[in-house]
């Protein structure tokens, strides 16, 4: 494993947010400097920054950027700015609960009693809270890695979908934290990264960050994973999550459900790795999770080439829901949760004092 320190996915520079532009990977490692809310919302919408925990850490800092940009002169004006940002940033994408949660947490900290005396104090509260969101996520990732390594001690070939690595979090990832922890402990590990059509987060991002870390990774066409699993070529499947309902049903990148079905049929473990901040206890089950529908053009095209004939339509749900019954365990920073998830999730949230 390559031990050199990876480039952070997002970073507060003192007056702006610097993010890796994930639309440009793996061709080039380029950065975007985010100094206004329009750039932040655009970066979220285009998936220049993406992955539920990274969206939370970024959204919290985007509130600070938006607050600075607005230049409120009084506390009533500042409160009105925050309510506008709550909607503008918090609604930039619908499925990853971390975004809404982190934006609300940051704004609510600034509005909490005892109240602040002036706009400068309010800004200090916002920044402290926003930085805490990212710092806590990094710790959660490390704990997920530690627990996942113990749970998956016997797994060498790990399949994953989308990117749930350092590019998707403020730390070492969720699903990929387990891989990094195994590699750091000197255990053999090989990753099969499903390519993740249409935007290829697996082929572009997971393969890039694992190769960068010196970890053995092979990209697999989405449709090929089931037969590899059936042939016994995969020891376990681990994915991240965008929103986990109170009963354990899990929304993640579209295509995840198919891997879970294949894992169940082959009798291998299908695991979700996510911080407790991705659990939404207010949502009872998967059918209540809002699934983002994206531009059909993402399906029609690969890069600048059109793949589909004119006259053919396309549908582009960005996520699907894997039912709790297909999930062997949910690896969180508050422990490894086992079915029945209604109970284990409620206990974990109470212990974490967390959202929902
Ligand atoms: O559309 P994306 O790239 O934001 O989707 C990301 C995923 O589905 C990830 O698997 C999920 O957010 C977990 S990231 C640790």
Residues 206-251 pLDDT 10s = 999 999 999 999 999 999 999 999 999 999 999 999 999 999 999 9
Scan for tokens 């109470």, then name that residue: 350
- CB of 94 closer than 6 angstroms to any ligand 1 atom: no
The residue contributing the CA closest to ligand 1 atom 15 is 164
Instruction: Give the burial string for 29-46 (b: 16+ CB within 10 Å, else e).
Output: eeebebeebebbbebbee
pLDDT band of residue 355 (cuts 50, 70, 90) is very low
Give the position, in ligand 1's atom list, of the atom nearest the Cα of 173.
15
- CB of 48 closer than 6 angstroms to any ligand 1 atom: no
1 pLDDT higher than 90 = no
Tokens standing for residue 329? 């365990």
354 pLDDT higher than 60 = no
Mean predicted confidence (pLDDT) in 325-336: 98
Instruction: Give the burial string for 218-244 (b: 16+ CB within 10 Å, else e).
Output: ebbebeebbebbeeeebbbbbbbbbbb
Residue 205 has what DSSP assignment? I
| Most informative mutation of 21, 23, 203, 252 for ligand 1 (most atoms within 8 A of CB) | 252
Q: Is the pTM of this model over 0.95?
A: yes
Give the position, in ligand 1's atom list, of the atom nearest the Cα of 199.
3
Sheet hosting strand 269-273, strand order edge to edge: 216-220, 190-194, 157-161, 236-239, 269-273, 329-332, 335-337
Mean predicted confidence (pLDDT) in 253-273: 98
Residue 303: what pLDDT? 84
Residues 129-166 pLDDT 10s = 999 999 999 999 999 999 999 999 999 999 999 999 99
* Distance from residue 81's CA to the centre of ligand 1 (Å): 29
Residues 66-123 pLDDT 10s = 999 999 999 999 999 999 999 999 999 999 999 999 999 999 999 999 999 999 999 9
Residue 88: what pLDDT? 98
Residue 270: what pLDDT? 99
CB 236 within 8 A of CB 268: yes
Q: Give start and end residues of each alpha helix (H) in 51-118.
A: 52-70, 75-90, 97-111
Q: What percent of the chain has pLDDT over 90?
A: 96
25 by Cβ neighbours in 10 Å (0-12 / 13-18 / 19+) ranks as: buried
Residue 356: what pLDDT? 44
Taking alpha carbons only, the member of 352, 315, 145 closest to residue 240 is: 145
């Amino acid at each position: 494993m390559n031990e050199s320190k990876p480039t952070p996915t997002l970073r507060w520079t003192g007056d702006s947010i610097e993010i890796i532009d994930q639309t440009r990977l793996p061709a080039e490692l380029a950065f975007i400097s985010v100094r206004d809310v329009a750039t932040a919302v655009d970066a979220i919408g285009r998936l220049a920054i993406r992955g539920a925990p990274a969206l939370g850490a970024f959204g919290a800092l985007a509130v600070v950027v938006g607050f600075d940009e607005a230049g409120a002169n009084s506390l009533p004006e500042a409160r009105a700015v925050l309510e506008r940002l709550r909607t503008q940033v918090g609604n930039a994408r619908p499925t990853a609960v971390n975004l809404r949660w982190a934006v609300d947490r940051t704004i609510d900290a600034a509005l909490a009693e005892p109240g602040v005396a002036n706009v400068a104090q309010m800004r200090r509260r916002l920044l402290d809270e926003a930085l805490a969101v990212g710092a806590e996520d990094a710790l959660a990732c490390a704990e997920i890695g530690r627990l996942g390594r113990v749970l998956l001690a016997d797994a060498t070939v790990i399949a994953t979908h989308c990117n749930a690595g350092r590019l998707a979090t403020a730390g070492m990832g969720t699903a990929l934290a387990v891989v990094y922890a195994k590699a750091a402990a000197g255990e053999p590990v090989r990753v099969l990264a499903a390519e993740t059509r249409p935007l290829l987060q697996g082929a572009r991002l997971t393969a890039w960050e694992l190769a960068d870390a010196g970890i053995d990774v092979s990209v697999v066409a989405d449709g090929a994973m089931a037969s590899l699993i059936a042939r016994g070529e995969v020891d376990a499947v681990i994915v991240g999550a965008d929103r986990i309902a109170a009963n354990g049903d899990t929304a993640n990148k579209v295509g995840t459900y198919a891997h879970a079905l294949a894992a169940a049929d082959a009798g291998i473990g299908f695991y979700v790795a996510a911080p407790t901040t991705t659990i939404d206890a207010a949502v009872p089950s998967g059918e209540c999770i809002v699934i983002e529908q994206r531009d059909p053009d993402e399906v029609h095209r690969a890069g600048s080439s059109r793949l589909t004939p004119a006259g053919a339509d396309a549908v582009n749900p960005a996520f699907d829901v894997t039912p709790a019954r297909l999930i062997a365990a949910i690896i969180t920073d508050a422990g490894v949760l086992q079915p029945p998830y209604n109970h284990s999730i409620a206990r974990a949230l109470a212990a974490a004092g967390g959202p929902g």
